[in-house]
Amino acid sequence: MAHDSIPLMGGKSVHCINEQQMAEAWRLTEEEPGSSAKIQEALEELEKELSRNERAALAFVIISRLKATTAPLPQA
């Protein structure tokens, strides 16, 4: 029995992220040479400077901007 893919959008005010996307995000953050150090440094700074609500707002804005753009990923 084939499984349907999980939609990214759960509704107007909800953004859903499937398990594969989350696993890839963690891999990039923890293991990817070059990217992991940059991501961890940015996260550390943001977590130091922004409140939980500010970080949540930033996350939603980043997701919205990513959905709105079709720019190719930078080549390593």
Structure tokens at 61: 């804005």
pLDDT (tens, 9 = 90+) of the chain, 76 residues, equals 455 554 545 555 555 678 888 899 999 999 999 999 999 999 999 999 999 999 989 998 998 898 888 766 666 5
Query: Is residue 59 classed as helix, strand or coil in its secondary structure?
Result: helix
Q: With helix as H, strand as E and coil as C, how does the chain read?
A: CCCCCCCCEEECCEECCCHHHHHHHHHHHHCCCCHHHHHHHHHHHHHHHCCHHHHHHHHHHHHHHHHHCCCCCCCC
pTM here is 0.63
